[in-house]
């Protein structure tokens, strides 16, 4: 059994053997992975020690105090938050050994090829086809809203392998090589001016069967692991008081008394309270997970987070008055990482609009809460027993 003091000892020993100041960044990260200090709740040999997830904080605190480099988690969020837990749960031993280490060190960036122009909230209706040819699958189709596709080495991909069965049953999950000549990534410019995400065209992309994750036809179930982790990743970041979107507007309020009005004051205080309560809810959720009592509260975190980000950033633009009429830069760029609070107020306002769409729209999430948490009747379904090829589109 690995406890906190044992982990602290291990981390200090590791730091003694690999002093951050005298070790190259990548060498340090690779050695940290090999020492089981990357994500301690992962199994031994795969970057972890099979320890409780909560104990990662012990390791991180020691490393941070020693000035150790990190793996720049914002650059590799999809790999860490979505691909890794799915590969861990469904991957073969060979897949886990091949993919998890460079994923964690950031040597290989991952993206997610799930949504399609014709399959958004109804993701299971996706039409990208994968057809078996010898030891390979040949993939054709179009994916969309793919963050980081332009820097990704690998993608998690779901595609239709059997159009003759109902939609949820004919999907298979793959790990797709983004350097395959059949993969074409085109930037998709957003309302912020930049292209954080892309559309991805797949033309006769060949994926070896050894890069299939889970059973043929079981891709929908495998994808649930990815999607549940995505919502936790988007809504569940640990924050100090005034962390997140409420921070910049609170600072502006304090530093620029000439901008204050009574009406904005009332709205700011309400949102400050809401943000603090949302932070406490996230903290409570984490305490439940650490105590091994996971509750259904996680289902709603992203809903609250999206609404708050949108209202707070809208207030901030208004508070700025004349300056709120300006925008920092409309230049088309392709950023390598996602930062909701980065740049200026106008950007924050526009980027936050995506928070209630990405990772499941708020409308779909409300249905999920109503049905799975409150047990209310499901939406009437007309597609359950119909073969995918016969669905209306």
Tell me which residues are annotated as active site. Answer: 230
By C-alpha distance, which of 98, 85, 100 is closest to 53? 85
Q: Does 379 bind another protein (CB under 8 A)?
A: yes
From the list 125-133, 229-237, 332-340, 378-386, the region that binds another protein by CB under 8 A is: 378-386
From residue 228 to residue 247, what is the string marking binding to another protein with x (rule CB under 8 A)? Answer: ------------xx------
173 backbone dihedrals φ, ψ, rounded to 5°: -105, 130
Question: Tokens standing for 383?
Answer: 């597609």
Instruction: Tell how far CA 393 is from the center of its chain.
Output: 29
Distance CA 219, CA 213 (A): 8
**Contact with another protein (CB under 8 A): which of 131, 269, 326, 332?**
269
Q: Is 22 in the site for another protein (CB under 8 A)?
A: no
122 contributes a contact to another protein by CB under 8 A: no
Is the CB of residue 229 less than 8 Å from the CB of residue 81?
A: yes
In Å, the largest CA–CA distance within the chain is 71
| Distance in Å, CB of 110 to another protein, minimum | 31
User: What is the rounded end-to-end Cα distance, in angstroms, of the chain?
Assistant: 54
Q: Is 61 in the site for another protein (CB under 8 A)?
A: no
- Count the site residues for another protein by CB under 8 A: 46
Does 326 contact another protein by CB under 8 A?
no
Q: Are 154 and 177 a contacting pair, CB within 8 Å?
A: yes
Partner residues linked to 186 by β-bridges: 199
Candidates 300, 314, 346, 360; binder of another protein (CB under 8 A) is 300
Angstrom distance (rounded) from CA 384 to CA 364: 18
β-bridge pairing 110-113 and 154-160? parallel
- The continuous run of DSSP H or E covering 133 comes out as strand 129-133
Identified binder of another protein from the candidate list 132, 204, 261, 342, rule CB under 8 A? 261
Question: Can you tell me which of 284, 330, 332, 393 binds another protein, judged by CB under 8 A?
Answer: 284
Residues with Cβ within 8 Å of 332's Cβ and at least 6 positions away in sequence, in order, are 187, 189, 193, 194, 195
Beta-carbon-side half-sphere exposure of residue 77 (alpha carbons within 13 Å) = 19
Applying CB under 8 A, the span of 48-56, 91-99, 104-112, 263-271 interacting with another protein comes to 263-271
Measured from the CB atom, is 219 or 314 closer to another protein?
314
* Span from 160-168, 177-185, 265-273, 346-354 in contact with another protein (CB under 8 A): 265-273
- The residue from 1, 377, 382, 385 that contacts another protein (CB under 8 A) is 377
How many CB atoms within 10 Å of residue 302?
Answer: 23
Q: Where are the alpha helices (DSSP H) in 46-124?
A: 56-65, 77-78, 84-90, 93-105
The stretch among 141-149, 258-266, 329-337, 343-351 that binds another protein (CB under 8 A) is: 258-266
How far is C-alpha 378 from the chain's CA centre? 27
Q: To the nearest whole angstrom, how small is the minimum distance from the Cβ of residue 373 to another protein?
A: 6
Q: State yes or no: residue 82 binds another protein (CB under 8 A).
A: no
Asked if 292 is part of the footprint of another protein (rule: CB under 8 A), the reply reads no
Which stretch in 3-11, 123-131, 348-356, 363-371 sits in contact with another protein by CB under 8 A?
A: 363-371
| CB closer to another protein, 3 vs 276 | 276
Binding stretches for another protein (CB under 8 A):
240-241, 250, 253-254, 257, 260-262, 265-266, 268-270, 272-274, 276-278, 280-281, 283-284, 287-288, 291, 293, 297, 300, 303-304, 363, 366-367, 369-371, 373-380
């Amino acid at each position: 059994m690995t406890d906190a003091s044992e982990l602290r000892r291990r981390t200090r020993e590791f730091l003694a053997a690999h002093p951050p100041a005298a070790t190259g960044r990548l060498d340090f990260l690779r050695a940290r992975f090999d020492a089981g200090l990357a994500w301690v709740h992962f199994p031994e040999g795969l970057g972890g020690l099979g320890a409780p997830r909560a104990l990662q904080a012990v390791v991180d605190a020691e490393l941070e105090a020693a000035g150790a480099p990190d793996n720049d988690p914002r650059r590799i969020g999809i790999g860490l938050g979505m691909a890794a837990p799915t590969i861990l749960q469904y991957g073969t031993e060979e897949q886990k050994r091949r993919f998890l280490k460079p994923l964690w060190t950031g040597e290989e960036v991952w993206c997610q090829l799930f949504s399609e122009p014709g399959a958004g909230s109804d993701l299971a209706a996706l039409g990208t086809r994968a057809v078996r040819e010898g030891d390979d699958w040949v993939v054709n189709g179009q994916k969309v809203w793919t963050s980081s596709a332009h820097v990704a080495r690998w993608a998690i991909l779901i595609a239709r392998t059997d159009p003759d069965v109902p939609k949820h049953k004919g999907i298979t999950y793959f790990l797709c090589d983004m350097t395959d000549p059949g993969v074409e990534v085109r930037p998709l410019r957003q309302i912020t001016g930049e292209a954080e995400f892309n559309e991805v065209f797949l033309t006769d992309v060949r994926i070896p069967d050894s890069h299939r994750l889970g059973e043929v036809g079981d891709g929908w179930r495998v994808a649930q692991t990815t999607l549940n982790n995505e919502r936790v990743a988007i809504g569940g970041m640990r924050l100090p008081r005034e962390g997140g979107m409420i921070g910049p507007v609170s600072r502006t309020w304090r530093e620029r008394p000439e901008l204050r009005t009574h009406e904005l004051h009332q709205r700011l205080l309400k949102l400050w309270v809401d943000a603090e309560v949302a932070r406490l809810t996230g903290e409570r959720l984490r305490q439940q997970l650490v105590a091994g009592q996971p509750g259904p509260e996680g289902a709603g975190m992203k809903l609250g987070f999206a609404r708050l980000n949108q209202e707070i950033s809208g207030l901030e633009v208004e508070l700025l008055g004349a300056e709120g009429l300006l925008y920092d830069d409309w230049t088309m760029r392709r950023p390598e990482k996602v930062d909701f609070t980065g740049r200026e107020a106008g950007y924050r306002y526009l980027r936050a609009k995506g928070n209630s769409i990405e990772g499941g729209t708020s409308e779909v999430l409300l249905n999920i809460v109503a049905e799975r948490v409150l047990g209310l009747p499901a939406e009437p379904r007309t597609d359950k027993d119909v073969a995918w090829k016969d669905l209306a589109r």
